[in-house]
Amino acid sequence: MSRPTQARIDLAALEHNLQIARRATDARIMAVIKAAAYGHGMLRAAQALNAAEGFALLNVGEAVYLREAGFRQTMLLLEGCFTLDDMQLAVEHDLACVVHSPQQLAMLDACPRRKSLQVWFKINSGMGRLGFAPQDVPAAMEKLRSHPAVRDITLMTHFASADEATGVAAQLELFNTLAAPYRLPRSLANSAALLRYPATHGDWVRPGIMLYGASPFAEVSAQELGLQPVMTLSSEIISVRALEAGEAVGYGAAFRAESGMRIGTVACGYADGYPRHAPTGTPILVAGQRVRTLGRVSMDMLSVDLSALPAAGVGSRVTLWGEGLPVEDVARAAGTISYELLCALAARVPVKVV
Ligand SMILES: *Cc1c(COP(=O)(O)O)cnc(C)c1O
């Protein structure tokens, strides 16, 4: 018997979630598969999301790999090209490049003057991370539109607060004003904007997290949005013991029993991608029942409260997140977001694709 910890990846759920996105918009869908498809595995995610019109990722090497695997979709490099070699490969493999900086704009001059490059021109409408400042847009656009290396241009921006009460209004208005002089395709929406703000859909939407079955909103569950979890991280109880009142469990004796209780040890820890900062009380499923973690998470193990589950014992199945336990609930308890937990799935965890 090998260690019972595993991640199950449900490709049918991935396809289902793409359908949810599809039903919410008439725009083309650029499925975001960066960060190994948020920890789910890039190639298998691309295969399950093959009906998407595009894929967004970060590394030119990954995009070339997908091209060579036969994917014909629009392939967008979200941070654009880092080097001239990248740009050469982008031309060769017909990849779309974000151009977000004067440096990248200048890099185009070294590109073959064959009108071969697809450019996604990124405008900073308020996120403050990448993109041309509003006042620099007209000059940069003038250069791009007449550039001999550029085949076509899509205008894009990214929202800072589409998932929060602040919303998108100010950024949307600024972007639309800046885009107004050009009759070019537009792309603005992440998952939250796709689901909540149809006015942002434009020509291309860029969903990520929703495809993996997690809600982008703090106050709306994935289930309410009709999304299905794609990744289920599971393990088993490998040891059971009684704690007497006053006895502690784990590093730092961070949890101490107030009265007698029964606890179990689960074969999953932070080296598997479970958050070390998840405190006592983080939800966890044992034999399908929601109970709580106890004390500090170790590298390879964590402890759970079995007091309410007299039938549970060594070999009982444990779900860390996924089916039956939304990853958002675990993330919230651990003071983070579902994205971070999914992306952090460790390479040592065997993946079972269903
Ligand atoms: C990651 C990313 C997305 C996807 O965001 P989600 O919140 O996961 O839907 C969209 N656009 C850009 C530019 C991104 O970097």
Dump the DSSP string for 169-234: HHHHHHHHHHHTT----EE---HHHHHH-GGG--SEE---GGGGT--SSSSS-TTTTT----EEEE
Packing angle of the helix pair 60-68, 84-92 (nearest 10 deg): 20
CA 30 to chain centre: 13
CA of residue 174 to ligand 1 center, whole Å: 19
Q: Which amino acid makes up residue 186? A: R
Point out the ligand 1 atom lying closest to the alpha carbon of residue 216.
7
Position 336 scores a pLDDT of 98
Q: Which of 114, 197, 120 is nearest to 152 (CA)?
A: 120
Query: Which residue, by CA, sits nearest to atom 15 of ligand 1?
Result: 78
Whether 54 lines ligand 1, by a CB cut-off of 6 Å, is no
Q: Taking a C-beta distance cutoff of 8 angstroms, is the pair 98, 54 a contact?
A: no
79 CA distance to ligand 1 middle (Å): 12
What contacts 82, CB < 8 A, 6 or more positions away? none
Q: In testing the pocket of ligand 1, which one of 206, 209, 217, 340 has its CB within 8 Å of the most ligand atoms?
A: 206
pLDDT score for 112: 85
pLDDT at 113: 87
Gap between the Cα atoms of 144 and 138, Å rounded: 10
Measured in Å, residue 37 CA sits from the centre of ligand 1 at 11
Q: How far is CA 350 from the centre of its chain?
A: 20
302 lines ligand 1 (CB under 6 A): no
- State the Cα–Cα distance between residues 273 and 341, nearest whole angstrom: 7
Q: Ligand 1 pocket, 191 CB below 6 A? A: yes
Residues of the chain within CATH 2.40.37.10 domain(s) are 231-353
Check if the beta carbon of residue 346 is closer than 8 Å to that of residue 272: yes
**Which atom, in ligand 1's list, is nearest to the CA of 98?**
13
* Residue positions annotated with a catalytic role: 34, 251
CATH 3.20.20.10 residue spans of the chain: 11-212
- Report the predicted TM-score, pTM, of the whole model to 2 decimal places: 0.97
206 lines ligand 1 (CB under 6 A): yes
User: Ligand 1 mean position to 329 CA, how many Å?
Assistant: 21
Q: If you ran DSSP here, which 8-state letter would residue 111 be given? A: S
Looking at residue 248, what is its pLDDT? 97
DSSP 325: B
Q: What is the rounded CA–CA span in Å between residue 17 and residue 20?
A: 5
**How much is the pLDDT for 252?**
96
Q: Note the pLDDT of residue 179.
A: 98
Distance from residue 195's CA to the centre of ligand 1 (Å): 13
pLDDT tens for the 354 residues of the chain, in order: 699 999 999 999 999 999 999 999 999 999 999 999 999 999 999 999 999 999 999 999 999 999 999 999 999 999 999 999 999 999 999 999 999 999 999 999 998 889 899 999 999 999 999 999 999 999 999 999 999 999 999 999 999 999 999 999 999 999 999 999 999 999 999 999 999 999 999 999 999 999 999 999 999 999 999 999 999 999 999 999 999 999 999 999 999 999 999 999 999 999 999 999 999 999 999 999 999 999 999 999 999 999 999 999 999 999 999 999 999 999 999 999 999 999 999 999 999 999
Listed residue (335, 271, 264) closest to 304, CA to CA: 264
Ligand 1 neighbour 211 (Cβ under 6 A): no
For residues 303 and 321, what is the distance between their CA atoms, to the nearest angstrom?
Answer: 15
Structurally, at CATH architecture level, domain 231-353 sits in: Beta Barrel (2.40)
Q: In the CATH hierarchy, which top-level class contains the domain 11-212?
A: alpha beta
What's the pLDDT tens digit per position in 244-287? 999 999 999 999 999 999 999 999 999 999 999 999 999 999 99
Token pair, residue 111, equals 């590109």
For the segment 44-55, what is each residue's pLDDT rounded down to a tens digit? Answer: 999 999 999 999
**Would the CB of 158 count as within 6 Å of ligand 1?**
yes
